[in-house]
């Protein structure tokens, strides 16, 4: 008797694919970065929850750095143009990125926004991501630095509840410190939480109302913009 294996008509097959799903975005992000580098432009991505003060912080930074650098702002928002109006009022070229139902910006949207500004006349771009402390983390945009903005009004557990976002951050801003006492939030505990996740990272407590800490943020952003471009 000859040993025989007969293929059944319902034979199943396995195929290795190794197809990365985040690769498409990562690739466009790399292209954005190359394009920015070739024009000597630095992009900085601001991430944080709704109401943490991203737009206000960006507006303050445009006021502080507008004299030294040619700025542009990409304003990510699901639906409204309120933030656009706030920033554009300062005379800074601003592009609104409406994601409609999207919970994060992606590199493709940023690539389109780059076509809307004069790259020859830009040094520094602030990209305001969608107000969300989870989704934007795994979607790089091509920025050279990622700033996470949290505020004391979000309560004492903001870092503990959204740890992943801080792993990818380069600078963390703890905003609205003027309300810390009223909120019963200890700034030092939030700083410690961030450092438990990522030691050595720069954490800057700020108040956009009193102006505390804003100079330090501006200095940190400026040093990012002036850092030599890595090949």
Partner 1 sequence: MHELSVVSGLVESVLEFVEARGIKKLATVRLQVGELAQLEEEQLRFCYTAMIEQTPIQGSTLDIEKIPAEVSCAHCSYQGSPKYWDGALAGERVPTLQCPTCGHVAQAVRGHECAIKSIQYVA
H or E element at residue 111: helix 107-114
Nearest to partner 1 of 27, 209 (CB atom): 27
For the bound state, the minimum distance from the C-beta of residue 157 to partner 1, rounded and expressed in Å, comes to 6
d(CA 36, CA 119): 8
Nearest to partner 1 of 24, 227 (CB atom): 24
For the bound state, the minimum distance from the C-beta of residue 198 to partner 1, rounded and expressed in Å, comes to 5
Nearest to partner 1 of 16, 67 (CB atom): 16
Token pair of 62 as six digits: 């445009």
Nearest to partner 1 of 122, 129 (CB atom): 129
d(CA 142, CA 68): 23
For the bound state, the minimum distance from the C-beta of residue 110 to partner 1, rounded and expressed in Å, comes to 15
Q: Where are the alpha helices (DSSP H) in 149-211?
A: 158-161, 163-167, 180-183, 187-197
Asked if 36 and 28 touch (Cβ cutoff 8 Å), the reply is: no
Nearest to partner 1 of 104, 144 (CB atom): 104
Question: Which parts of this chain interact with partner 1 (CB under 8 A)?
Answer: 10-24, 102-104, 106, 134-139, 157, 160-161, 163-164, 167, 193, 196-201
Nearest to partner 1 of 116, 164 (CB atom): 164
For the bound state, the minimum distance from the C-beta of residue 189 to partner 1, rounded and expressed in Å, comes to 10
For the bound state, the minimum distance from the C-beta of residue 103 to partner 1, rounded and expressed in Å, comes to 6
Strand order in the sheet with 124-131: 94-98, 71-77, 124-131, 42-48, 145-151, 171-175, 202-205
Q: Find tokens 């293929």 and name the residue.
A: 7
For the bound state, the minimum distance from the C-beta of residue 80 to partner 1, rounded and expressed in Å, comes to 19
Could you list the beta-strand ranges (E) of 53-182.
71-77, 94-98, 124-131, 145-151, 171-175
């Amino acid at each position: 008797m000859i040993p025989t294996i007969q293929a059944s008509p319902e034979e199943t097959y396995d195929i290795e694919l190794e197809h990365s799903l985040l690769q498409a975005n990562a690739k466009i992000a790399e292209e954005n970065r190359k394009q920015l580098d070739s024009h000597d432009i630095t992009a900085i991505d601001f991430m944080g929850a709704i109401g943490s003060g991203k737009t206000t912080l960006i507006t303050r930074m445009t006021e502080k750095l507008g004299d030294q650098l040619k700025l542009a702002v990409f304003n990510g928002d699901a639906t409204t143009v309120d933030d656009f109006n706030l920033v554009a009022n300062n005379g800074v070229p601003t592009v609104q990125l409406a994601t409609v139902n999207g919970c994060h910006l992606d590199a493709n949207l940023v690539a389109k926004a780059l076509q809307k500004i004069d790259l020859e006349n830009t040094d520094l771009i602030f990209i305001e991501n969608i107000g969300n402390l989870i989704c934007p983390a795994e979607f790089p945009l091509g920025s050279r630095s990622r700033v996470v903005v949290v505020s004391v009004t979000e309560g004492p557990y903001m870092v503990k509840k959204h740890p992943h976002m801080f792993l990818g951050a380069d600078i963390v801003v703890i905003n609205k410190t003027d309300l810390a006492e009223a909120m019963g939030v200890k700034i030092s505990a939030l700083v410690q939480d961030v450092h438990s996740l990522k030691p050595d990272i720069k954490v800057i407590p700020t108040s956009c109302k009193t102006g505390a800490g804003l100079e330090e943020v501006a200095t940190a952003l400026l040093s990012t913009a002036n850092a030599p471009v890595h090949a």
